[in-house]
Amino acid sequence: MKSGRSDVLSVEQRSRCMAANRGQNTTPEVLLRKACWAEGIRYRLGAKLPGRPDFTMPKYLVAVFVDGCFWHGCPIHYQEPATRGEFWAVKVNRNCSRDLVVNQQLRTMGWTVVRIWEHTVRRDLNSAVLDIRRHCGLSACATSQPAKPDGASRNKSKLSVTTNEEPTQ
């Protein structure tokens, strides 16, 4: 309990916990990539572009970022932690500012930036895939199978994405 914090972990323990947070291949990112691949949207990983997009479609100059609700300050789900609120506010604000700079850099280079919240991937994977399809200039895929009702299938290797509807503007 150093420096008046109410954290139950030591500085070293907290550091290890925070270091364990993955920056790539997160569950929402992998779910979205698999759904895109199942829909015939081919992508590349590891592009050396500003901000290191989670995946890109170089053919269409589209860069996709899957933003975590906590790390990127989701207006719906972000909750300031109970401890070290000022530290976290500065960190999240810095992340949001960096996102804006990266968006501008990529646009200047001719790329379209697609940012998708992790909660969108978890709750409405279909709309996330449709959003990517639209930004790539692709129409809705006619070969899609209807999605199963929530909880009907937990098998992540057999994703089905419904894209029968035309996107609304």
Residue 148 is predicted with a pLDDT of 41
Domains of the chain: 25-169 (3.40.960.10)
Query: pLDDT tens digits for 45-100?
Result: 989 999 999 999 999 999 999 988 887 888 887 777 778 878 888 988 898 999 99
Q: Is the pLDDT of residue 1 over 60?
A: no
Helix extents (H) in 41-124: 85-108, 118-123
Strand partners, 56: 44, 63
Cβ–Cβ under 8 Å, residues 147 and 50: no
d(Cα 113, Cα 102) in Å, to the nearest integer?
9
Query: pLDDT tens digits for 21-57?
Result: 666 778 889 999 999 999 999 999 989 999 999 999 9
Smallest CA-to-CA distance from 78 within 27, 118, 129 is with 118
User: Is the backbone of residue 63 left (phi > 0), alpha (psi -120 to 50) or beta?
Assistant: beta
